[in-house]
Structure 1
Amino acid sequence: MNSLTTTAAYPAVASTDPFRPKWHYTSERNWLNDPNGLVYLNGTYHLFYQHNPLGPDWGNMSWGHATSPDLLHWEEQAVAIPCDAQEAIFSGSAVFDEHNTSGLGTAQNPPLVAVYTSAYSDASPLAGRQAQSLAYSLDEGRTWTKYQGNPVLDRASADFRDPKVFWYDGAAGSYWVMVAVEAVERQVVLYKSGDLKTWEQLSSFGPANATGGVWECPDLFELPVDRDPGDRKWVLIVNINPGGIAGGSAGQYFVGEFDGVEFRSGSTVTEGLQEDGSRMREYGWLDWGRDYYAAVSFSGIADGRRVMIGWMNNWDYAGSTPTGGWRSAMSLPREVTLTRLDGKVVLRQEATDPFEGPGLGSFSLGPQPLAPGTLELPVTAEVARIDVEFEPGPASSIGLIVRAGGTERTLLTYDVAGGMLRLDRRESGHVNFHEAFPSVETVAVPLQEGRLRLRVYLDRCSVEAFAQDGLATITDLVFPAEAGTGLAVFAVGEGAQLLALDVVRS
């Protein structure tokens, strides 16, 4: 069993840290990256994650652990699976082995099984390899034991990683499926097993669509289209770094069919390793911002919902962000669904909302014309949900200013002629800690009946914008240097209408 905890000897992080989020999970101290092993069991959501228990920089990769009853209030647990002299514990997944197919538990006490990548160090006989291994828990994730037969799947590869495992039950049979990557080859590889220990290769997918970086952290799941149980598609998630739509890290998705053996994409735009960027905006992207990466979904949610969490950072500058003894946060959890839009099946995303219930402050504006210029609102918003609906009319652009103070501001601007939503953080506060950080992100957002709807979640170091009920999202970090809590709406040109605005704060 593991014995490493969250190193109480490391200095505690001050509660007054101005960038510590209120509603986005962070470890109390030290480094955090990819979410791992997302699983729901007996009323508890388990979030495991890449974690350095010994400092705020990447290294000593282990699985951190947090639990929640509601996806909003998280309690950090002891380190679940620590690294050792032989291996670092890289990304993976966790499943509840209800029928004890692995034999690692009993019929009366079936195990929770983590499937993770062993990144073998120079001290190991397998030095330089990445292979897939198991750990199991018989007390609902509180303590973990590494399987003595590790690794369970070794391709003698230096870049074989990030296994996502699920139970498949279909025409081809009933078995565990592992979806992993040969990262440098930009290839998803699929395996099957009856017991989580012995694996047989099924097929591979890729390269396809964005191939400007290594492929990582895949996921594969089935969803109904427009909640119609008779119309179902499979979604393959492939995260990529670098080569994302906004630069650096990002997540892409494919929609298609999976017959238990092979995934066939119906949304591949172009195939092959050559990537000139000319068709990047035609691909399916989970998020059009700079700070949503390594997103994977929970297993075990019985009602069929598919909920994902991403790492809210970017490898371009993740090691430089201006926080204290902690570094990096998770996104808000998002339920993803499928919908048909203009004959194409696309993802829609809706965040788990912290801003519901009693005791919340709110501010509203009803319908009114927007004169050219800026309308500063008599409300501050540091940690808030903002719902706003515009009818741009003949105006050239309309938008929202958030986290404003002094010379600082973050802009959400809609360009009417181009049909583009833009998030501009170049004047958002601390931006000079890395040359890649000052940036402008854009996504095509067609008006619907002449209207633009935005739902924006603000936290102390982030902006998550959901356009047209989650058909497009932009997620970016911001680090305001002052108490930047001002809020405004604006229009460029005559004829715009503000149809509704609601601000809810906690």
Structure 2
Amino acid sequence: MQTKNKYKPVVHFTPPANWMNDPNGMVYVNGRYHLFYQYYPAAPNWGPMHWGHAVSEDLLHWEHLPVALYPDELGCIFSGSCVLDRANVSGLGSIENPPLIAVYTNHRISDHLEQQSIAYSLDYEHFEKYYGNPVIPNKGKPDFRDPKVFFNPVKNCCSLVLAAGSRVEFYSSENLKDWKKTGDFEAGIHGLGGICECPDCFPLMTEEGEKWILIISMILPPEQAGKDKDCFHRMSHITQYYVGTFDGNTFHDTECSALPLLPDYGTDNYAAVTFQNLEEKVMLGWADNWDYAAQTPTDADGFRGQMTLARQMKLVKTAQGYRLAFSFPGLDSLKASAFPLFPGDNRLHTQTFGLKTTVNGPGKITFRNSTGESVEIEVTEEEIIVDRRHGGQTGFQKDYDSDCYGINRAPRLCQNTSIMEIVFDRCILEVLADDGMTPFTVSVFPVHPYEKICVTGEISADFYQIQ
């Protein structure tokens, strides 16, 4: 099972080579999912950012396209989003050939000035930068980045949400070129405080009507990060969400959860945002961690960084309040060939596979090899626990196998029978526990391929291969 690319995932997106981080500009157009991403094509470490570009028809297999945006006189190309301008309100295309508008942050390295700019494309591959950039200038405010455009149903125009220090700001525009600030939202009033990054804002339907979701990736204050080993404060970067309303000007946290709401409890899911121009809400995140991303093992092509699998979401009302629930789109046809695993040890012949498990009570699923490397997924009455401390290489960074980073845990949301979906792809493990409401994304770097799956306790599992 050894291959030249021991760690490069099969169905988790990776760059052609070298460094990648945040997903950007995700949009669905003419039957293809477009993924842009933070990319430094010259080395396997962070550098002057470009927008890489890839497309897919199934969210599992990706075709690389040429780099979409290069650094310019305004700076590097930081994170942002794309919107298909169907009505050509920008005047940069036509009704017959609507332009794809990229809204992104220019970051000037010399003084870290961050401003918002736009570019447009008529073939959805080659972009022309707008002559009037920046469209949202900045007079020196730090941490002013990552615009995410969305349709504003109240004003019948486009709005965007933008990270601005400890809060996010909202802007609206009639033409995608002239933007006016309409409101803001302070992240730390409820939930986690810190520096905001990569926000997203969108509606989801529930039995009680429409609710809005605000997602914010957070850089925690140094004095908070790692101080407590709970699932909220153990890392320097974490993503949270809020459930509430959008009044056309700003978001309101009407649900006011007593605890922060996390879309992922693992170490390796950051800057996750949704696809535009898609009826269902599908999210993708960077499956890595700023604390060790530049040190992780890599293969011959020097790739560093992968995306999570796409996750379709819905909003579910629980006894604890509203929670996002996730599923993996695109895997149903592969599950058709699934077969049940026996309790105890089962031989493993591939390093890219899925498990659909039914949880009737406490139990454990373990992947291991003959050298003693193992990763464990444990279900107790109170918690879901993913332990990667002994999963493989750990010495590349001091905290990687610590209790704080190596043991991923979250409180149970389902006390009765539930479904747990698991996907493992060479170096990345994704778990959607408690009917998808308790997700984990965890990297692991086995020196030798895992050879066995062991299923114990009150868990049954069906296995399917992913190619």
Whether these two folds match at TM > 0.5 is yes
Q: 1:55 aligns with which of 36, 43, 48?
A: 43
When Rg is computed on C-alpha atoms for both structures, the one with the higher figure is 1
Give 1:228-307 correspondences, 5 Å limit: 228=207, 231-242=209-220, 243=225, 245-269=233-257, 282-301=259-278, 304-307=279-282
| Alpha-carbon contact 2:162-2:169 (below 8 Å) kept | yes
Mapped to 2, the partners of 1:256 and 1:101 lie a distance apart of 29
TM-fit CA distance, 1:59: 0.6
Q: Which amino acid aligns with 2:380?
A: D
Partner of 2:291: 316
Measured on the aligned residues, the alpha-carbon RMSD in Å equals 2.0
Distance 1:452 1:96, change over 3 A: closer
For residues 231-261 of structure 1, give each alpha carbon's deviation from its aligned partner in whole angstroms, at most 9, with x where no partner exists: 1100000011245554232210000011101
Amino acid of the structure 1 residue aligned with 2:164? E
Q: Please identify, of 84-93 and 194-203, the stretch whose mean Cα deviation from structure 2 is larger.
A: 84-93
Report how far residue 357 of structure 1 moved. 4.0
Mapping 1:118-157, distance limit 5 Å: 118-122=106-110, 127-139=111-123, 141-156=124-139, 157=141
**Residues 168-204 of structure 1, C-alpha deviations (whole Å, 9 max, x = no match):** 122xx21110100113xx1010011111111111110
Answer whether contact 1:91 1:116 (CA < 8 A) is retained: yes
Measure, in 1, the Cα distance between the counterparts of 2:234 and 2:348: 31
CA apart distance, 1:484:
1.6
Q: Which residue of 1 aligns with 2:148?
A: 164
Query: Following TM superposition, by how much is the alpha carbon of 1:110 offset from its aligned partner in structure 2, in angstroms?
Result: 2.0
Provide the residue aligned with 2:366 in structure 1: 401
CA pair 79-150 structure 1, distance change in 2 beyond 3 A: same
The separation in 1 between residues aligned to 2:349 and 2:423, in whole angstroms, is: 14
Deviations along 1:302-350, one digit per CA (max 9) or x if unpaired, are xx20000000001010111101311010000000110111161111111
Q: In structure 2, how many angstroms separate the alpha carbons of the residues matched to 1:68 and 1:483?
A: 28
Q: Note if contact 2:87-2:95 (Cα within 8 Å) is conserved in structure 1.
A: yes
Aligned-residue offset at 1:106: 2.5
- CA distance in 1 between counterparts of 2:454 and 2:80 reads 42
Q: In structure 1, what is the equivalent of residue 454 of structure 2? A: 488
**Structure 1: which amino acid aligns with 2:60?**
L
CA distance in 1, matches of 2:441, 2:387: 11
The offset of 1:36, in angstroms, is 0.2
> Match for 2:214: what amino acid?
L
Amino acid at match of 2:136: L
Q: TM-score, normalised by structure 1?
A: 0.84
Match of 2:228 in 1: none
Instruction: State the one-letter code of the partner of 1:193.
Output: S
- Which whole-Å CA distance do the structure 1 matches of 2:172 and 2:117 have between them? 15
The answer as to whether partners of 2:24 and 2:38 remain within 8 angstroms in 1 is: yes
Which residue number corresponds to residue 359 of structure 2? 390
Q: Aligned partner of 2:14: which letter?
A: T
1:72-87 counterparts in 2 under 5 A? 72-84=60-72, 86-87=74-75
Whole-angstrom CA distance in 2 between matches of 1:158 and 1:300: 31
Aligned residue type for 1:503:
F
- 1:390 to partner: Cα distance: 3.5
Q: In 2, Cα distance between the equivalents of 1:20 and 1:378? A: 22
Aligned ranges 1:430-469 → 2 under 5 Å: 430-438=393-401, 439-449=406-416, 451-469=417-435
Q: Distance in 1 between matches of 2:81 and 2:286?
A: 15
Residues 430-478 of structure 1 deviation map (CA, whole Å, 9 limit, x = unaligned) = 11111121110101114433x3532110100011011122011111001
Aligned partner of residue 483 in structure 1, secondary structure = coil
Aligned to 1:363: 339
Cα deviation for residue 376 of structure 1 reads 1.4
Q: Is the 8 A contact 1:404 1:487 kept in 2?
A: no
The answer to whether the Cα contact below 8 Å between 2:192 and 2:260 also exists between their aligned partners in 1 is: no
Aligned to 2:229: none
Residue matched to 1:327: 304
1:381, 1:486 within 8 Å by CA — same for their partners in 2? no
| 2:195 counterpart residue number | 214
The one-letter amino acid paired with 1:190 is F
**Whole-Å separation in 1 of the counterparts to 2:101 and 2:36:** 12
Aligned to 1:318, the other structure's residue is in SS state coil
Q: Which amino acid aligns with 1:194?
A: E
Maintained 8 Å contact 2:287/2:307: yes
Name the amino acid aligned to 1:501: A
Over 3 Å counting, the alpha-carbon distance change for 1:212 and 1:223 in structure 2 is closer
Structure 1 gaps of 5+ residues are 1-13, 271-281, 492-496
CA distance in 1, matches of 2:307, 2:100: 23
- Match for 1:145: what amino acid? E
CA contact (8 A) 1:35 1:310 kept: yes
Maintained 8 Å contact 2:241/2:262: yes
Partner of 2:14: 26
Q: How many residues align?
A: 447
Q: CA deviation at 1:133?
A: 0.2
Per the alignment, do residues 405 and 380 of structure 1 end up closer, same or farther by CA in structure 2, a change over 3 Å counting?
farther
Inter-partner Cα distance in structure 2 for 1:472 and 1:296: 18
SS of 1:356's equivalent in the other structure is: helix
The residue aligned with 1:182 is: 164
* CA displacement 1:74-132 (0-9 Å, x = unmatched): 1011000011354100000000011111111223322100000011233xxxx531010
Match of 2:379?
Answer: 414
Alignment partner, residue 273 of structure 1: none
Deviation sequence 1:47-75 (CA, Å, 0-9, x none): 00000011111012010000011211110
184, 192, 202: which one pairs with 1:204?
184
1:193 maps to: 173
How far has the Cα of 1:15 moved from its partner?
A: 7.1
Shift of 1:363: 3.3
In the alignment, is the contact (CA less than 8 A) between 1:241 and 1:315 conserved in 2?
no
Residue 401 of structure 1 and its aligned partner are, at CA, apart by 0.1
CA distance in structure 1 between the partners assigned to 2:341 and 2:451 by the alignment: 18
Q: 2:419–2:436: 8 Å Cα contact kept in structure 1?
A: no
Q: Equivalent pairs: percent with the same residue?
A: 35
Q: Distance in 2 between matches of 1:193 and 1:260?
A: 12
CA distance in 2, matches of 1:305, 1:248: 31
After TM superposition, give the deviation of residue 16 of structure 1 in Å: 1.7
Q: Any idea what the Cα deviations from partners look like across 1:10-47, whole Å, max 9, x if unmatched?
A: xxxx9721001011000110101000000011111100
Distance 1:83 1:234 in 2: 34
